[in-house]
Amino acid sequence: MEADKKQGNEYLIRQMQIDDLADVFHLGEKLFTLREYPTLYRTWDEYEVIGFYTGDPEFCLVAETGGSLAGFLLGSIVDKRNSPRKYGYLVWFGIDEKFQGSGVAELLFDGFKKIMQGEGVHILLVDTAADNDRALSFFRARGFSSPRDHVYLTLNLPGEVTKG
């Protein structure tokens, strides 16, 4: 992918490489914390990053500027056996706080969308917390519609929590 300019910043949007794994993991560690998202149903850990990188590397994108990681996107394709459609699933999407609002999220998403179209995907899926107004606004501005409410029930089991 080529470098894109937006609001004075130049970003290179490209496929994630093995040397990006640690930076992507650490950025996700900052963004997807249990403190911020106590009912997060997917756990952010090194296996998430490695799993996407080894399983669907063509759907793992990073944005860099000036040699620094500005953001990342990890996705996959859901190809159901009895369905005539292929679904693109954007699973993890993170932008470093210092680059939020700079246009890098749009560039990453546009790169993902283009890849998905090239793969014959007809529908893109994304999920987010119902109170994540920033994410909802971002995705609605890109044409996502028909939000569905899901109820995730949680039960805290007794014992000491070691991570937070």
Q: Confirm or reject CATH 3.40.630.30 for domain 3-141, answering yes or no.
A: yes
Instruction: Choose among 89, 76, 67, 87: nearest CA to 20.
Output: 67
Is the Cβ–Cβ distance between 151 and 101 less than 8 Å? Answer: no
One digit per residue, the tens of pLDDT, for the chain of length 164 reads 544 444 446 999 999 999 999 999 999 999 987 666 555 556 788 888 999 999 999 999 999 999 999 999 999 999 888 877 889 999 999 999 999 999 999 999 999 999 999 999 989 999 887 778 888 899 999 988 876 666 666 676 887 655 55
Task: For residue 132, give the DSSP letter.
Answer: -
